[in-house]
Structure 1
Amino acid sequence: MSRDRRLLPNDPFFKIDLRAVSRLRSLEIQLSPNSIEDITLQLSHPAPLLESLTMEFNLNRPLLCPEIPTTLFDGDLSSLRELDLRYVRTKLPWRNMVNLTSFALMFVPPGFISVTQLLDFFESAPHLREIGLSSVPLVHGERNERVLSLTSLKKFIVRGSQQTSPLIGHLSIPVGASLETRIEQHSRIEDHLPRSLENLQNFLNFSQVLFHVEKWSWEIQLTGPNGHAHIASNNSLVFMSVLVPEFLIWFKTSTIDRLEVTNTTNLARNVIFQLLLPMRALRTLTIAGRETLAPFISALDPDMNPQNTPVCPRLKELVIRTNGEKGLNVDNVMRMRVARARRGAKLESVRIVGGG
């Protein structure tokens, strides 16, 4: 059901036999905010067969979002498998969501929903496999050591929300789950990193990491036998000097054996050295972009490092992607390779490829 304006008294929706609501299996509602009161009566009856519900109220001013009444389907949404709420206010009062596997909440006004309310809702839905939160500023009301285990979780996506870490810190995420975080432009990076890895089983033993940096954005992808994590931001490169130390603090980089770095222009050599130093298991390094190459080669050259010792002592393969750029100077690459071999950290393969 989709309407761009307030429902008129003669709208066909009001002619629906209320008993038909009990037979609904899927319902998508897209209305203007003023229509929430109009449909309350129609949707206050039980819908024991309803499996999928989407509610979206077209609105450019989120502070005026309508609030979903607690009487929706007689207050019982236990039959739902999928719930998608957009541009609505809700305190998530429903319990016994035993069948719910997919939940999305988007564009909620600030100050309306708390970490505690989300945790209570998640606890009532033990079979949740996919969770998506977008532009949901949370009130940080949970001060205790409560940890909620999401044993069935496969994918958790958080976008445009402020301070993800207070919520993530109260969740136990299982092996095999994927966590994706997209950070707001002016948000602090540390507000979106987990405060502890103790309960994030999917964050353990990452073996591959990808750093990708554009002029006004960056992303990190981490992959391993226990799961996948994707952290992205629209912040500019000036934040990279903060990102790398925070990354090293929170993620155990000593198990990483594959690292791919693209377009990290203007990233200081000392920051790169700090990034590579704990990666003692690294065996394959891929570098894309001519301007990215020079500071990494310098950091890998033991003659350029304190104590003249090589970082990444197990590094065996270096792949350089030119991305179609011309004028690549390989002299420093060869010099670095000789210096590493002289100190027992020989590179077995250096490949230069033209593709991106």
Structure 2
Amino acid sequence: MPNKISVTQLLDFFVNAPFLRDIKLNSIPDSSDAPPGRVVSLPYVKSLAVFADRAYSSILLNHLFLPSGVLLHLEFDFSGEESPLPTFLPNAIENLQNISCITSIYLDLYSEGVSMRMDGPSGRLSMWGYRTDWSEVIFVDSDRRVLRSLDYFVLSRIQRLAITNYEFPGLKEIDVSPPHYILDGMNDLRTLRLVQCNNLPFILALNPNQNPSKLAVCPKLEDLILYVDEDSFNIEELTSMAEERALQDAKLSSITIIGLGFVPGGILGLREHVARVEYGAEDELPQWDSTFGDEKDR
């Protein structure tokens, strides 16, 4: 069924309803008939939800200026091998003043899609993408593309980063580039949480003894939290990283290791290089809102 409303009509409606606070769009046009330079500000909006349904949400967001404080939610289907994140955002990221300052990211790379939440004092962006051809995708390559696409945003003020399901925990092929590529720009990063991830590329990237071209300095990193499977727990590289950071005056304040279904062992040596080491077993993964609990009610 053809679209019954155009982008121009939507923009005209927003201009004539300047006091809108909550907007939910279950469908948007497949193309834009508005001039490329036309941008409408929504000065009083508090939340905007766009369900793209295979049409790019950027078709509309290219024409909207979202002020500080807005909670923006994008939900869409995607296919192909490109990362979906930049595709569904406006060409001029400056339009999104609600994420001009990002302090935390939670990224979940699951087999059927990708979900991401960005929080900061200026607002929130959440994206839920559902893959339509997931059975034919090489997940490792897809995960790396999504992670690298975070560079689309300004990450220098990130203080907390949580990633779930990055690569396969027992993956033998190690590529340090994607974690290094992102982490190296996070100079304010304090907390890194990895849940059911192939955490070895991150551990290697954080080791000061790493090749400088692959090193992510993260000078303010304090807390490392790992949810690990029995086959993915590499205590040797973790200890080496902690030792080298301590020698380079970048000592971690704490390392928390949570074994999923087992009690991780062999970590006593970590206590020589880290101020606090905690470990134990859990059967359940942390829920989305409990990852950074103090921000769930923003």
Task: Give the alignment partner of residue 169 of structure 1, picking from 59, 62, 72.
Answer: 62
The RMSD of aligned alpha carbons is: 2.1
Tell which deviates more after alignment, 233-242 or 194-203. Answer: 233-242
Amino acid at match of 1:303: N
* Residues 1:152 and 2:48 aligned together: no
Unaligned runs of 5+ in 2: 169-173, 259-280, 286-298
Query: How far is 1:268 from its partner?
Result: 4.2
Q: Which residue of 2 aligns with 1:263?
A: 165
Quote the residue 1:210 is aligned against.
Answer: 106
* In 2, Cα distance between equivalents of 1:244 and 1:307: 18
- Amino acid in structure 2 at the alignment position of 1:339: E
In the TM superposition, what is the alpha-carbon distance from 1:222 to its structure 2 partner?
0.4
CA distance in 1, matches of 2:180, 2:215: 12
How far apart, CA to CA, are the structure 2 residues paired with 1:345 and 1:171? 43
C-alpha contact 2:112 2:130 (8 A) present in aligned 1 = yes
Q: Is the 2:200–2:234 contact (alpha carbons within 8 Å) kept by the matching residues of 1?
A: no
Given that 2:180 and 2:214 are in contact with CA atoms closer than 8 Å, whether structure 1 keeps it comes out as no
Name the structure 2 match of 1:127. Answer: 19
SS of residue paired to 2:38:
coil
Task: Name the % identity.
Answer: 32
Q: Which residue pairs with 2:230 in the alignment?
A: 326
The Cα of 1:331 is off from its aligned counterpart by: 1.9
1:284 equivalenced with 2:191 (yes/no): yes
Q: Structure 1 length normalisation: TM-score?
A: 0.63
Alignment of 1:190-339 (within 5 A): 190-235=86-131, 236=134, 237=139, 238-249=141-152, 251-266=153-168, 268-289=175-196, 291-306=197-212, 309-322=215-228, 325-327=229-231, 328-339=233-244
Q: Which of these residues, 113, 117, 137, is aligned with residue 5 of structure 2?
A: 113
| Deviation for aligned residue 1:285 | 0.6
Paired residues for 1:39-188 under 5 Å = 63=1, 109-110=2-3, 112-159=4-51, 160-186=53-79
Number of aligned residues:
244
**What SS does the corresponding residue of 2:194 show, helix, strand or coil?**
strand
Q: TM-score, normalised by structure 2?
A: 0.75
Residue segments in structure 1 that go unaligned for 5+ positions in a row: 1-62, 64-108
1:173 and 1:201 in contact (8 A); partners too: yes
- What secondary structure sits across from 1:302 in the alignment? coil
CA contact (8 A) 1:182 1:231 kept: yes
Label 1:244 to 1:307 Cα distance change in 2 as closer, same or farther (>3 A): closer
Per-residue deviation, 1:129:
1.3
| Structure 2 counterpart of 1:253, one-letter code | L
Give the letter aligned to residue 336 of structure 1.
M
Shift of 1:233: 1.2
| Larger relative contact order (CA 8 Å, sep ≥ 6) | 2
Shift of 1:284: 0.7
